[in-house]
Amino acid sequence: MIDEEDDEEILKKKRSLKSILKNLFLIGLIAIGVLFIYLGGPNQTTNLIIGFTFICIGTTIFQMKKSASDPIRQTLTILKCKSCGAIIVRNYEDGDFIFKSMGSCDKCNDSMEIHQIYSVKLKKAGKKDDKLEENKNKLTETIEV
Ligand SMILES: [Zn+2]
């Protein structure tokens, strides 16, 4: 089963609208800062301080947003041998579906079929591979129990 696909689509739309609004707000903050520097009141130093404060807040939030990015989705396909129950976890490929026959088992050479299609969330892009391995291990453990 592929979990959460419909919800995910709706969430994505909501999220993108939110991020557009957020970006507009941040651009607004930076614009206010720039305006203060160029068109502020009679005291030039105060204008500079206020202007830079706005710009700093805007850019800081921008950077924070980037580091806390949306989780990356990873779809895994779990293959299971019909005879000996051996399990292979690999990345989902186009055309995968449950009960589809897929190659032969490494252990007993019997045919394998797709047992489950699994969708997981990965939090950080940099640790993608570690997380993927971790998820694979966890999944294999769960299935084998
Ligand atoms: Zn087998």
CA of 133 to the centre of ligand 1 (A): 22
Per-residue pLDDT band at 76 (split at 50, 70, 90): very high
Distance CA(92)–CA(13), nearest Å, equals 24
pLDDT at 52 over 70: yes
CA of 39 to the centre of ligand 1 (A): 75
CA of 75 to the centre of ligand 1 (A): 23
Strands 72-81, 101-104: pairing is unpaired
CA of 118 to the centre of ligand 1 (A): 21
CA of 115 to the centre of ligand 1 (A): 13
**What six digits make up the tokens of 142?**
């769960």
Mean of the pLDDT values across residues 7-23?
76
pLDDT of residue 98: 94
Q: Cα–Cα–Cα angle for 19, 24, 30, nearest 5°? A: 125
Paired with 87 in beta bridges are 80
